[in-house]
Chain A
Amino acid sequence: ETGVTQSPTHLIKTRGQQVTLRCSSQSGHNTVSWYQQALGQGPQFIFQYYREEENGRGNFPPRFSGLQFPNYSSELNVNALELDDSALYLCASSLASWDYGYTFGSGTRLTVV
C-alpha cells in the first residue's frame, strides 16, 4: 500500500507566476483535500475533490484551482502568485470527505520571491 506522494518537494517562484503542484493519493482513497500551512500555523483548508468533482472550498480566491483525475490523483494550480502564497502545501487523501482519518503527503514547500 503506497502512501500519499507530492511533487515537487520544494519550489521557488517569482511573484505573478503560475504554479502546479501534484499529488498521488493513497491506494483506495477517492477523496483528496488540499491545505495551505503557513509557518507556525495550522493547515488551512483550500478545497476538496471527490470522484473528480470539487466537493467543498475554503476561503481562498479563484486563482487557487484544482483537478482530480480518474485515478484520484490531483493537482493544485495557483495563478498570479503573491508573496503571501509562500507556504507548505499539503495534500491529504481519505476514504470519505471527513469521516475517516486523513493521510497526508510530505507537502510542497513553495517560496514566492
Chain B
Amino acid sequence: GQQVMQIPQYQHVQEGEDFTTYCNSSTTLSNIQWYKQRPGGHPVFLIQLVKSGEVKKQKRLTFQFGEAKKNSSLHITATQTTDVGTYFCAGPHNTDKLIFGTGTRLQVFP
C-alpha cells in the first residue's frame, strides 16, 4: 500500500537555527498537505500544495512540492520556541483517505 515517510524522525535545534523536514511518498500524489501537532494537541492544517514544483511561503515557513509530485519539504527559517511540535505531511490515497506521514518531531532549545 501507499507509504509516506518523513525524515528526520527527530530534530533538535537551537533557537534561531533553520529546520527542514522531508516527505517522500511511494506513489504520485495529486496534492500534499502539511499539519502541525503541538505536544498534547491535535493536528492543525497548515497548507496544501497542488502543482508540480509549487512553492508556498507562510512567514518563516516555506513549503515545496516536488516536480514528480512524490516528495515535499517544509523549511523553517530562524526557528522559535513556538515552532515546537511534530510536523506531518499527508497525501490522498485513492480518493477516499488522507494518509499521514511518519512525522518529524521538532524540539527548539532557547
Q: State whether B96 touches A55 (Cβ < 8 A).
A: yes
Q: State whether B42 touches A98 (Cβ < 8 A).
A: no
Q: State whether B96 touches A106 (Cβ < 8 A).
A: no
Of the candidates B44, B95, B102, which one forms a contact with A104 in the assembled complex, judged by CB atoms under 8 Å apart?
B44
Q: How far is the CA of A48 from the CA of B99 in the complex (A)?
A: 12
Q: How large is the interface on A (under 10, 10 to 19, 20 to 34, 35 or more residues)?
A: 20 to 34
Does B43 sit within 8 A of A, measured CB to CB? yes
Q: State whether B99 touches A45 (Cβ < 8 A).
A: yes
Q: How large is the interface on B (under 10, 10 to 19, 20 to 34, 35 or more residues)?
A: 20 to 34
Nearest CB of A to B6, in Å: 8
Q: How far is the CA of A44 from the CA of B100 in the complex (A)?
A: 7
Nearest CB of A to B101, in Å: 6
- A-B contacts, CB under 8 A, total: 62
Q: If the complex has contacts A42-B100, A45-B98, A56-B97, are A99 and B41 also in contact, measured as CB distance less than 8 A?
A: no
Does B31 sit within 8 A of A, measured CB to CB? yes
User: Which secondary structure dominates chain B's binding surface?
Assistant: strand
Does A27 sit within 8 A of B, measured CB to CB? no
Of the candidates A33, A101, A106, which one forms a contact with B42 in the assembled complex, judged by CB atoms under 8 Å apart?
A106
Q: State whether B45 touches A101 (Cβ < 8 A).
A: yes
Residue among A55, A100, A104 with most chain B CB within 10 A? A104
Q: State whether B96 touches A42 (Cβ < 8 A).
A: no
Q: How far is the CA of A96 from the CA of B35 in the complex (A)?
A: 17
Q: How far is the CA of A92 from the CA of B100 in the complex (A)?
A: 13
Q: How far is the CA of A58 from the CA of B96 in the complex (A)?
A: 10
Q: Mark A57-88, 1 if CB is under 8 A from B, else 0.
A: 01100000000000000000000000000000
Residues of A within 8 A of B94 (CB): 56
A-B interface, 6 closest residue pairs, ranked by CB to CB distance from nearest: A56-B96, A101-B45, A98-B92, A42-B100, A104-B42, A45-B97
Which residues on A are within 8 Å of B, measured CB to CB?
Answer: 33, 35, 41-45, 48, 55-56, 58-59, 90, 92, 97-107
Q: Could you write out 10 A-B pairs with CB less than 8 Å apart? A: A41-B102, A42-B88, A43-B88, A45-B97, A90-B43, A97-B96, A101-B33, A104-B44, A104-B45, A105-B42
